[in-house]
Chain A
Amino acid sequence: MYCVETRELSHGFAGHPAVLNSINMQVPTGSIYGFLGPNGAGKTTTLRLLLGLISKQQGEIMLFNKTLKGNRIEILKQTGTMIESPSLYGHLTATENLLLYQKLFQCQRSRIKEVLDTVGLSNTGNKKAGEFSLGMKQRLSLAVALLHNPSLLILDEPTNGLDPNGIIEIRDLLKKLNETLAVSIIISSHLLSEIEKLVTHVGIISKGSMVFQGTLESLVNKQQQNASLVVDTSNLQLSAELARQFVPAATTGNGKLIMPIPAKETIAAINHAFVKAGIDVYEMSTNKKDLESIFMELIK
Chain B
Amino acid sequence: MNNSFINCFSAEWIKKRRSFSSWLVLAGGLFVPVVSTIIFLVYPKQLMAIHNSGHFWEGLFQKSWQLMAIMLLPMGIVLAVSLITQLEFKNNTWKQLHASPVSFSNIYFSKLLVLILMLLQLFVLFNAGIWISAWIPSLLISEIPLPMYTINFGYILRENASYFLCSLPMVAIQYLISLQFKNFLVPVGAGLALTIGGLIALTWKYIYMIPSSYTALYFLQSKDNIAPAHDLQTWSLGYFLFFSLLGYWLYISRKVKG
A91 to B23, CA, bound (A): 13
B256 on the interface (CB 8 Å rule)? yes
Interface residues of B in 75-116 (CB under 8 A from A): 87, 90-103
The reply to whether A73 and B96 contact each other, CB–CB distance below 8 Å, is no
* Total chain B interface residues with beta-carbon distance under 8 A: 30
Convert A70-113 into 0s and 1s, putting 1 for each residue whose CB lies closer than 8 angstroms to a CB of B.
00011011010101111111111000100111011110000000
- Interface stretch, picked from A46-54, A218-226, A228-236, is A46-54
Q: How far is the CB of B147 from chain A (nearest CB, A)?
A: 39
| Max chain B C-beta neighbours (<10 A), residue from A81, A87, A105 | A87
> Does A216 interact with chain B (Cβ within 8 Å)?
no
Q: Is A55 among interface residues, defined by CB-CB distance under 8 A?
A: yes
Task: Give bound CA distance, A83 to B87, whole Å.
Answer: 18
Q: Which residues of B contact A92 (CB under 8 A)?
A: 14-15, 17-18
Q: Is A144 in the interface zone, CB < 8 Å from B?
A: yes
Q: Are A53 and B100 in contact (CB under 8 A)?
A: no
Q: Is the CB of A52 within 8 A of B101?
A: no
With beta carbons under 8 angstroms apart, the residue of B11, B95, B103 that contacts A87 is: B95
Considering the complex, give the chain B residue whose CB is closest to the CB of A13: B256
Known A-B contacts A51-B99, A54-B255, A83-B99; A103 and B7 likewise in contact (beta carbons under 8 Å): yes
B46 lies within 8 A of chain A by Cβ? no
B98 in contact with A53 (CB, 8 Å): yes
Task: Report A72 CB to chain B, min CB distance, Å.
Answer: 8
- How many Å lie between the Cα of A84 and that of B90 in the bound state? 15
Query: Given the complex, which residues of B lie within 8 Å of A74, measured CB to CB?
Result: 101
Question: Which A residues lie within 8 Å of B91 (CB)?
Answer: 87-90
> Do the beta carbons of A55 and B255 come within 8 Å of each other?
yes
- Kindly state whether residue B3 has any CB partner on chain A within 8 Å: yes
A53 — nearest CB in chain B belongs to which residue? B258
Q: Are B258 and A76 in contact (CB under 8 A)?
A: no
- B19 part of interface (Cβ distance < 8 Å): yes
Min CB distance, B119 to chain A, in Å? 21
A101-B93 in contact (CB<8A): no
Q: Which of B17, B95, B103 has the most CB of A within 10 A?
A: B95
Contact of B95 among A73, A84, A96 (CB under 8 A): A84
- In the docked arrangement, what's the CA distance between A38 and B99, Å? 24
CB–CB B93/A89 < 8 A: yes
Q: Does chain A have a CB within 8 A of B4?
A: yes
Q: A48-B258, A53-B258, A81-B96 are in contact. Are A91 and B11 (CB under 8 A)?
A: no
**Size category of the binding interface on chain A:** 20 to 34
Residue of B nearest to A50 (CB): B99
A188 to B90, CA, bound (A): 25
Min CB gap B99→A, angstroms: 4
Partner pick for A106 among B7, B17, B90, B258, CB 8 A cutoff: B7
**CB-defined contacts of A87 to chain B, threshold 8 Å:** 91-97
Is there an interface contact between B92 and A100, defined as CB atoms closer than 8 Å? no
Q: Is the CB of B257 within 8 A of A104?
A: no
The complex places the Cα of A285 from the Cα of B99 at a distance, in Å, of 52
Task: Give the CA-CA distance A48 to B95 in the complex, in Å.
Answer: 9
Say yes or no: B258 contacts A103, CB within 8 Å: no
In the assembled complex, the Cα of A15 lies from the Cα of B29 at a distance in Å of: 48
State the CA gap A144–B92 with chains docked (Å): 14
Q: Does B10 contact A (CB under 8 A)?
A: yes
A103-B10 CB under 8 A given contacts A76-B101, A85-B92, A144-B96: yes
Distance in Å: Cβ of A215 to nearest Cβ of chain B: 28
Bound CA–CA A70/B96 (angstroms): 19
CB distance from B15 to the nearest CB of A (A): 6
Among A53, A88, A99: residue with most chain B CB under 10 A: A53
Q: Write the B182-208 contact mask toward A (1 if CB under 8 angstroms, else 0).
A: 000000000000000000000000000
CB proximity of A186 to chain B, nearest CB, Å: 13
Name 14 extra pairs, CB < 8 A, besides A88-B91, A89-B91: A53-B99, A53-B257, A54-B257, A73-B101, A73-B102, A83-B96, A84-B95, A87-B91, A87-B94, A91-B87, A96-B14, A100-B15, A104-B7, A141-B96
**A/B interface sample: 30 pairs, CB < 8 A:** A48-B258, A51-B98, A51-B99, A52-B98, A52-B99, A53-B95, A53-B98, A53-B257, A53-B258, A54-B256, A54-B257, A74-B101, A76-B99, A83-B258, A87-B96, A89-B93, A90-B90, A90-B91, A91-B87, A99-B14, A100-B10, A100-B11, A101-B11, A103-B7, A103-B11, A104-B11, A104-B102, A105-B101, A106-B3, A144-B96
